[in-house]
């Protein structure tokens, strides 16, 4: 089974000083942090903030190529977690055929934001991730900031 998620925000891991995308269940309280690269975090932040670039960025180019080839992005699924590495697929349709394209979750999320498609996480990933949290789990002593309840629109890059 898969759980629909929304991008709740971006934050910096205070220990590793790396960006984290926070996904939150659409119909629940669980949140899943996914550590991403700085460039991918920037691509996600640019789309969250609806900033316009003078020229297409990589994920904008990908969106344009998908559309020009007559395909559409149906959804993104975070499919696996192996040795602390998340895996994802971008599900596309073209001429009635469904295609599953292997992707890093960060790239898939950046594309999902641009084409306005849903993001899902498998139950197995949610269960196997030792960093899944809920809004009610947070206490002042936790490593997660108190502002995770804010929407992504509050994030500024």
Tell me the per-residue pLDDT of 92-107, one tens digit each, with 9 for 90 and over.
Answer: 999 999 999 999 999 9
3-state helix, strand, coil in the chain (%, to 5): 30, 40, 30
Residue with tokens 């971006």: 10
Q: pLDDT tens digits for 58-91?
A: 999 999 999 999 999 999 999 999 999 999 999 9
- Pick the closest to residue 9 from 22, 18, 19, 20 (CA basis): 22
Lowest mean pLDDT among 12-26, 70-84, 118-132: 118-132
Q: Which two tokens stand for residue 100?
A: 């599953």
**Looking at the DSSP assignment, which residues form a beta bridge with residue 2?**
122
With a cut of 90, say whether residue 152 has pLDDT above it: no
DSSP assignment string, 5-53 = EEEEEEEE-TTT--EEEEEEETTSSEEEEEE--HHHHHHHHHHHTTPPP
Q: Which two tokens stand for residue 41?
A: 């975090």
Q: Of residues 124 and 150, which shows the higher confidence score?
A: 124
Give the pairing type, strands 71-82 and 119-122.
parallel
Please compute Rg for the chain using Cα positions. Answer: 16
Q: Of residues 111 and 138, which shows the higher confidence score?
A: 111
pTM across the whole model: 0.84
Q: Are the CB atoms for 32 and 48 separated by under 8 Å?
A: no
The confidence band for 23, taking pLDDT boundaries of 50, 70 and 90, is very high
């Amino acid at each position: 089974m898969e759980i629909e998620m929304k991008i709740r925000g971006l934050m910096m891991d205070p220990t590793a000083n790396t960006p984290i995308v926070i996904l939150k269940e659409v119909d629940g309280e669980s949140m899943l942090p996914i550590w991403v690269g700085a460039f991918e975090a920037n691509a996600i932040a640019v789309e969250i903030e609806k900033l316009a670039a003078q020229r297409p960025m990589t994920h904008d180019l990908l969106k344009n190529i998908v559309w020009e080839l007559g395909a559409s992005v149906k959804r993104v699924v975070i499919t696996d977690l192996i040795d602390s590495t998340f895996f994802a697929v971008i599900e596309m349709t073209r001429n009635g055929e469904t295609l599953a394209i292997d992707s890093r979750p960060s790239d898939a999320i950046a594309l999902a934001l641009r084409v306005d498609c849903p993001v899902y996480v498998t139950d197995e990933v949610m269960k196997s991730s030792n960093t899944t949290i809920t809004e009610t789990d947070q206490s002042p002593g936790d490593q997660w900031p108190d502002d995770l309840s804010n929407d992504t629109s509050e994030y500024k890059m």
